[in-house]
C-alpha cells in the first residue's frame, strides 16, 4: 500500500465521492511519513470492529492546514484538533495537533518508567517542556523522531508507532461516537485560545464551573474545606443556585453538551476495549503492550495540554512567563476576578481534560482486572470476556502510577473550580474588597512525592 493513499484506503468505498469537502481538503492531506505509518498500523487493529465498517462509509482526513487558504481556515472544514462533520460524514484531524501530541507523548515516553521522567522533577521542568514544544511542534517532534535510531533504542520506533496508532484510534472513536449520535462537533478537546477574550461574566462563569464541580465532586475529587460551595443551604451555594436558575438555558446546554461529549468518550473507550479484547485471543502480550501504550499516551497528552493551557491562561492574565505554582498562586490572589476568568481553563462543552483521561484509563485498567471497582462505570464490552493471566506486574505498576498521579495532580484544577464559585459570591456580596483569596497549589514534585507515599 502506498503511504500517501492510506486515508483513501480507510475511506474504502467512497472514492467516487467528490463532494465539496474532498475538493477542499484532498490537496491538503497530510503526507507526514510517521503519521502515515501510524494510520497504517491502525488499520489491522480495527479490523472486524464496528468502527472499521463505519469508517468505510465515512471520510477521514488528516489535514496539514499550513497552505490552506483563509476561507478553509475560517470555514467548516477547519478544526484545531479533531472534528466530526455530520452532513459530510467526515472526521477531520489537524496534523499540527497530532504532531504536538506526538511530541508530548515521545517526551514523556523516553524515560520508560514514570519516576524517571525528567519533566516530573519540578514545575520548571514541566513548563520548560511546554515552552520547548509549543513554538514549533513540527521541528521538535522531528528531533525526537531521530532519537529512535540511536543504538540501544531498537524498540523505540515500533513503540512510538503503536502509541500514535492507538491514540488515533481513541480520537477517531470519539468522533465516530458523535457521528453515531448524529452530532456535528467541531473539536475533540477544549484548549485555551490565546486570542479570545477572557470570561468576565460572573454568572456564566459560575454556571459553567458549577457543572464541573458537581461532576468532580461526584467522582471523588473533593475538597472538604470547600464543602459549602456545593451546599445549596450555604450563602455561596445559594448564589450558585440562583445563577443556575437565572441562566437556566445555558445550564441546560452545558448538561446536554457534557452528556454528548461523555457519550463520545465512552464510544472511544468501547472501541479500544474491543480492540484489546480481540487482540487477547491471539496475542495477550501484545494486547497488554497496547494497553500500556494507550495509558502512556493519555497520561502524556492530558498532563501536557493541562500545563500548556495553564501557561496560556496566565499569559492572558499578564504574566510573561510562568515557572511554578507559587507564581500561579500569587497571580490568582491579585484579584477575585482572576478566578472568574479561570472558567476558561475548563472548556465549554467537554468534561475537564484531566478527568477525561483519568476516566478512560481507569475504565480500561478496570476491565483488565487492575482494579476491582471503576471510578465511574465499567466500560461496555462487545467481545466475549476471556479468562486471562494476571497483568504483567511492571506494566500494571507503571499504568497505575500514571493514573494515580493524574488523580493527585487534578488537585490544582479542583481548587481553582471550587474557588471560582466562592469568588463569585465574594464579588457579588461585596466581601471581595475585604478578603484576599490566596490558594496554595501543589507543584508536580509535591504530587509525585504524594504518589511515592501511596505506591
Our CB check for Zn ion shows the closer of 137 and 177 to be 177
Choice between 165 and 264, CB closer to Zn ion: 264
Q: Rounded to the nearest whole angstrom, what is the least distance from the CB of residue 288 to Zn ion in the complex?
A: 28
Spatial contact of 442 and 411, defined as CB atoms under 8 Å apart: yes
CB 189 to Zn ion: min, Å: 8
Sites for Zn ion among residues 103-142 (CB under 5 A): none
Least distance from C-beta 80 to Zn ion, angstroms?
12
b/e sequence 172-183, b meaning 16+ C-beta within 10 Å = bbbbbbbbeeeb
Under the binding rule (CB under 5 A), the answer on residue 417 touching Zn ion is no
Closest CA to 352 of 214, 247, 169: 214
Nearer to Zn ion by Cβ, of 173 and 237: the residue is: 173
CB of 270 vs Zn ion, minimal distance in Å: 15
- Closer residue to Zn ion (CB): 10 or 264: 264
> CB-wise, 185 or 419, nearer to Zn ion?
185
Three-class DSSP category at 47: coil
Q: Could you tell me which stretch among 86-94, 132-140, 179-187, 336-344 binds Zn ion (CB under 5 A)? A: 179-187
Q: Which of 14, 30, 185, 353 binds Zn ion (CB under 5 A)?
A: 185
Compare residues 185 and 296 and give the one whose CB is closer to Zn ion.
Answer: 185
What is the closest distance, in whole angstroms, from the C-beta atom of residue 86 to Zn ion in the complex? 12
Alpha carbon distance 198, 53 (integer Å): 42
Q: How far apart are CA 59 and CA 48, in angstroms?
A: 18
State in angstroms the smallest separation of the CB of 218 from Zn ion: 21
Indicate the residue among 240 and 264 with the shorter CB distance to Zn ion: 264
Residue 367 within binding range of Zn ion, rule CB under 5 A? no
Packing angle between helix 202-218 and helix 411-429, nearest 10 degrees? 140
264 or 322: whose CB is closer to Zn ion?
264
Instruction: Give least dist CB 174 to Zn ion, A.
Output: 6
Q: Smallest distance, Å, CB 264 to Zn ion?
A: 5
3-state secondary structure of 151: coil
Contacts with Zn ion: how many residues (CB under 5 A)? 3
How far apart, in whole angstroms, are the C-alpha atoms of residue 280 and residue 439? 47
DSSP per-residue letters across 234-303: SHHHHHHHHHHHHTHHHHHHHHHHHHHHHHHHHHHHHHHHHHHHHHHHH-HHHHHHHHHHHHHHHHHHHH
Q: Quick check: 264 binds Zn ion (CB under 5 A)?
A: yes
Contact pattern for Zn ion over residues 224 through 263, marking x by CB under 5 A? -------------------------------------x--
Chain positions contacting Zn ion, by CB under 5 A: 185, 261, 264
Amino acid at each position: 500500500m502506498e503511504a500517501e493513499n492510506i486515508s483513501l484506503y480507510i475511506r474504502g468505498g467512497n472514492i467516487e465521492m467528490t463532494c465539496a469537502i474532498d475538493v477542499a481538503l484532498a490537496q491538503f492531506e497530510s503526507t507526514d511519513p510517521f503519521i502515515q505509518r501510524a494510520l497504517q498500523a491502525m488499520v489491522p487493529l480495527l479490523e472486524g470492529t464496528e468502527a472499521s465498517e463505519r469508517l468505510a462509509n465515512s471520510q477521514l482526513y488528516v489535514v496539514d492546514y499550513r497552505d490552506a487558504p483563509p476561507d478553509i481556515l475560517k470555514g467548516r472544514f477547519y478544526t484545531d484538533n479533531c472534528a466530526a462533520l455530520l452532513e459530510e460524514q467526515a472526521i477531520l484531524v489537524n496534523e499540527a495537533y497530532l504532531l504536538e501530541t506526538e511530541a508530548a507523548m515521545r517526551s514523556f515516553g523516553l524515560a520508560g518508567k514514570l519516576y524517571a521522567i525528567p519533566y516530573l522533577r519540578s514545575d520548571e521542568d514541566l513548563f520548560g517542556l511546554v515552552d520547548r514544544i509549543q513554538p514549533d511542534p513540527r521541528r521538535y517532534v522531528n528531533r525526537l523522531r531521530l532519537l529512535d535510531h540511536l543504538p540501544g533504542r531498537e524498540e523505540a520506533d515500533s513503540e512510538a508507532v503503536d502509541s500514535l496508532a492507538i491514540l488515533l484510534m481513541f480520537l477517531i472513536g470519539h468522533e465516530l461516537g458523535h457521528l453515531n449520535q448524529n452530532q456535528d462537533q467541531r473539536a475533540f478537546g477544549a484548549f485555551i485560545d490565546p486570542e479570545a477574550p477572557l470570561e468576565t461574566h460572573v454568572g456564566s462563569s459560575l454556571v459553567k464551573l458549577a457543572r464541573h464541580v458537581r461532576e468532580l465532586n461526584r467522582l471523588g475529587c473533593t475538597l472538604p474545606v470547600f464543602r459549602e460551595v456545593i451546599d445549596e443551604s450555604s450563602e455561596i451555594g445559594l448564589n450558585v443556585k440562583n445563577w443556575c436558575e437565572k441562566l437556566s438555558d445555558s445550564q441546560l446546554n452545558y448538561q446536554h453538551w457534557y452528556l454528548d461529549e461523555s457519550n463520545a468518550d465512552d464510544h472511544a473507550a468501547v472501541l479500544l476495549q474491543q480492540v484489546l479484547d480481540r487482540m487477547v485471543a491471539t496475542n495477550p502480550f501484545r494486547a497488554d503492550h497496547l494497553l500500556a501504550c494507550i495509558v502512556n499516551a493519555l497520561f502524556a497528552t492530558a498532563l501536557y495540554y493541562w500545563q500548556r493551557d495553564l501557561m496560556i491562561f496566565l499569559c492572558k492574565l499578564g504574566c510573561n512567563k510562568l515557572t511554578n505554582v507559587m507564581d500561579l498562586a500569587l497571580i490568582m490572589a491579585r484579584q477575585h476576578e482572576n478566578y472568574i476568568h479561570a472558567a476558561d481553563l475548563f472548556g465549554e462543552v467537554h468534561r475537564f481534560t484531566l478527568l477525561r483521561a483519568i476516566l478512560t484509563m481507569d475504565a480500561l485498567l478496570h476491565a483488565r482486572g487492575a482494579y476491582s471497582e471503576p471510578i465511574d462505570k465499567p466500560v461496555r464490552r462487545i467481545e466475549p470476556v476471556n479468562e486471562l493471566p494476571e497483568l504483567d506486574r511492571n506494566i500494571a505498576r507503571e499504568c497505575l502510577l500514571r493514573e494515580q498521579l493524574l488523580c493527585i495532580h487534578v488537585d490544582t484544577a479542583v481548587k481553582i473550580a471550587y474557588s471560582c464559585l466562592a469568588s463569585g459570591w465574594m464579588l457579588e456580596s461585596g466581601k471581595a474588597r475585604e478578603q484576599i483569596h490566596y490558594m496554595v497549589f501543589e507543584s508536580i514534585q509535591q504530587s509525585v512525592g504524594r504518589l511515592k507515599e501511596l505506591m
